[in-house]
Structure 1
Amino acid sequence: MNSEYESNVFSALGGTSPLGVSLEQLFISMNYSYRVDETLTLGIAPVFALQRFSATGLEGFDNAGFSSDPGSVTNNGDDWSTGGGLNLGLLWEPAPEWDIGLGYRSRMYMEPFEKYSGLFAEQGDFDIPAVATLGVAYTPARNDKLTLTAEYQRIFYGDVAAISNTNATAAALGALLGSDDGMGFGWKDMDVFRIGGVYRPSDKWTLRGGVSYASQFIDGEEALLNVLAPATPQWHASVGASYRVDAHWGITGSYTHAFDNTVSGANPVLSPGQPVDLHMAQDEVALGVTYRW
């Protein structure tokens, strides 16, 4: 997740350009599955996580009036954090046409970002929230080339203070950045609903498509700090295809569009009552190559 603005909305507080943040995450897991019987399979996967973060342009908040740890708010270069958690899964096949899956990824407990301990709540703590997923796949007996899928997912943003603490009111600003009650992004738990389909017209080709809808997890009153992370889209649509070149090699490609969505609020810091509009649209293209032994 990256954002970068040449015009700094916090310039009146002394912020320089560019304003923005960069967050990167890497997950490595070792998976183990056990087939209990013909219909039930269980899985477990310890997960190692690595994060890298940097922030620029927040000099106006890098003082004792705003932060509990001045000097650890902005322009400190890349900071690294390691940690981990656990993935648990269950696959139930009650009939040849049906597959029902349940997955849970625990909260990923991460080392604090020490270089940004004056920015994130709880002295730089930035754990990765837990995720629970329930999915169903149906393959009609009369047409096994087609599979239809539906999925529900809940992301528990509200459990991580750096993500969920409010930045909405002047009272909230009284809690210094980096403190346990310091400003966060005001994100709420998110619910995601997905439907999709897979069609296999031949042994070589597999076609895929789907749409997803996510609940709004940012209130308008939280708009100001979310300039740094304007994750506003709620609707996504994806199409993709895989081509099996031979017994070993395959190629997979996909395109996803996140539809533009706007969250409107007001600026409680610089000019109280000033409108703040966040909006984002995204396009993603992916291409992968697989090799089967």
Structure 2
Amino acid sequence: MKNVVTFLFLLCIAPLGFSQAGHIMQGVGSVNMSMGGAATGQPLDISGALQWNPAAITVFDQNQIRLDVGLFFSSPELSSRVPAPSGSFIGGTTEDDRGMSPLPALAYKVGSTSRHHFGFSAFGISGFGVTFPESTTNPINMPQEMGGFGRVESNYSLFQVGAAYAYELSEKFSIGVQPTINFASLDLTPNPTAIPNQSGYPSTDGASTAFGFGAQFGVFYDSGAGFKAGAAYKTAQTFGDFEFDNVYLDGTEGQNRFNLNYPSILSFGVGYTRGVFDLALDYRLVNYENTDGFSAVGWTPTASVAGFGWKNMNIISAGVQYSGIDRLPLRLGYTYSSNPIEDELAFYSVPATAIIKNAFQFGLGYEISDRFEIDGVFHFGSSGDATSGPILNPQFAQNFPPYGAIPGSEVSYDMTTFMFMFGAQYSW
């Protein structure tokens, strides 16, 4: 048993690299993902309810345990160009060579015959990561001694454990609360949050970790006639500082701290069930503008990066489930996410390029028995138009304030994503 628990923990904190909505997972588990992440007002499984609206766990009366594991693949491309002395441009493109990343989700709902309901979750809810090799043709990936960043690699993952309590005020109304404990890991090559020396920016000597705390509150309404609605607020998840041990290109060492919190999220959702159809629609507001690590922008006086400078994000999730085939529910989902990165600040987000504008999902389940069900989903996502902006240099900030944009330069990135996820649920 101890070995199984250890394996699940290591699986959950593995680098995600799955950044559907900013650096936030668009959904959790096969069922919720196949519905585009919509669950605030239409909970179809315990994972979706525990992630987006703790009050909605009152829908499930039985003991249930659910485990999902996904395999995620992405193909980001990083391009840049700078003006050449001849009047032309030097430019190139670097493809990511990261490969596959795992996506875990574990949830448990305690059976209840009263108005009190309890649920527990262990989700990988956030992550970003890229691996762009060093290049001699792409200016942004040229060696630092040639003016580029060299190899660009990032690994960020956030593992969250929640304990939810919900109470049925009546047959139609429920309220819920869920304290959360978080564990995050961050590794950067190079580390732009550190002060550069004469050889350039250092790389972190292994990943740094930090713990964080927060909570989620929700309300849920079920008319009993098909219409459902919900609202939830997840507070900012407040972390301690990441403490980095850095190694510079000339072999010298140093340390620095950087704070990166998880933004607050406000969710509203509606659902409608009629016959063999279940419809779900969610809207979310992600408050990046008031989140440490994302709200700050620009260069510090010591030429380190102050933060990403992201704007708030709007997310729309929609899904439909068709249950007209015996024991074989079919699901379609769509997710739209606005881009939190402004063009003039695109340079700062090179280590976190996975911004997906449109995501499409197809999923299905199979009810092996009244107690045991398996599910699967296929996901395809696209960033739409490439995010692009000028290359920024702190040495140019005095002449080209406020960020030191190099005239005539450009950095851009776009990507597509693919994912297969499988899950199993047991009820008793």
Give the shorter-chain TM-score range. 0.7 to 0.9
Structure 1: distance between partners of 2:198 and 2:265 = 36
CA distance in 1 between counterparts of 2:166 and 2:260 reads 30
For 1:138, the aligned partner's letter is: Y
Corresponding position of 2:279: 148
Higher deviation after alignment, 81-90 or 195-204: 195-204
State whether residues 189 and 204 of structure 2, in contact with CA within 8 Å, keep that contact through their aligned partners in structure 1.
yes
Task: Determine if contact 2:133/2:141 at 8 Å carries over to the other structure.
Answer: no
1:273 aligns with 2:397: no
Q: Which residue of 2 aligns with 1:42?
A: 175
Quick one: which of 132, 137, 142 aligns to 1:5? Answer: 132
Pair 1:127–1:59, CA change in 2 (3 A): closer
CA contact (8 A) 2:143 2:150 kept: no
SS at match of 1:225: helix
* Residues 1:105 and 2:105 are matched in the alignment: no
> RMSD over aligned Cα, in angstroms?
2.7
- Would the alpha carbon gap of residues 111 and 177 (structure 1) be closer, same or farther in structure 2, given more than 3 Å must change? farther
Task: Give CA deviations for 1:20-64 in whole Å, capped at 9, x if unaligned.
Answer: 110011111111110000110111111111101111134896426
Question: 1:11: how far off?
Answer: 4.0
* 1:66–1:238 CA distance, 2 compared to 1 (3 A): farther
Residue number in structure 1 paired with 2:218: 89
Q: 1:53 to 1:205 in 2, by over 3 A?
A: same
Equivalent position of 2:260 in the other structure? 126
Task: Return 5+ residue gaps in structure 2 as ranges.
Answer: 1-127, 247-255, 394-404
Choose the corresponding residue for 2:422, options 287, 290, 293: 287
Change (3 A) 1:176 1:207: farther
Q: Determine if contact 1:264/1:278 at 8 Å carries over to the other structure.
A: yes
CA 1:206–1:62: 2 relative to 1, 3 Å? same
Further displaced range: 196-205 or 84-93: 196-205
Distance 2:211 2:379 in 1: 30
My pick for the range that moved more, 53-62 or 220-229, is 53-62
**2:418 pairs with 1:264:** no
Greater relative CO, 1 or 2 (CA 8 Å, sep 6+): 2
Amino acid across the alignment from 1:209: L
For 2:209, give the aligned amino acid.
W
Is 1:197 matched with 2:320? yes
Q: Which residue of 1 aligns with 2:156?
A: 23
State which of 272, 278, 283 in structure 2 corresponds to 1:138.
272
TM-score, length basis structure 1 = 0.85
1:165 offset after TM fit, Å?
A: 2.1
Aligned mates of 1:123, 1:104 — CA distance in 2:
29
Give how far 1:278 is off. 1.4
Deviation at 1:292, TM superposition (A): 1.7
Q: Which moved more, 1:215-224 or 1:194-203?
A: 194-203
Q: Which amino acid aligns with 2:408?
A: G
Q: Is the 8 A contact 2:347 2:391 kept in 1?
A: yes
Equivalent in the alignment of 1:169? none
- Contact 1:157–1:189 (CA<8 Å) still a contact in 2? yes
**Is this contact kept in 1: 2:141–2:150, CA < 8 A?**
no
CA distance in 2, matches of 1:76, 1:62: 15
Q: Read off the aligned partner of 2:293 and give its amino acid letter.
A: A
User: Distance in 1 between the 2:240 and 2:306 partners?
Assistant: 19
Find the residue that maps to 1:164 and give its secondary structure: coil
CA distance in 2, matches of 1:60, 1:49: 22
Q: Percent identity?
A: 21
For 2:199 and 2:293, the matched residues in 1 are separated by: 15
**1:63 has 2:186 as partner:** no
1:277 Cα deviation from its structure 2 partner? 1.3
Partners of 2:193 and 2:306 within 8 A in 1? no
User: Aligned-pair distance for 1:10?
Assistant: 5.5
Please point out which of 268, 287, 299 is paired with 1:173. 299
Gap change, CA 1:233 and 1:130, over 3 Å in 2: same
TM-score between the two structures when normalised by the length of structure 2 = 0.59
**Equivalent pairs, count:** 275
Contact 1:13 1:60 in 2 (8 A): no
Deviation at 1:188, TM superposition (A): 0.7
Equivalent residue letter for 2:270? V
- Aligned-pair distance for 1:66? 12
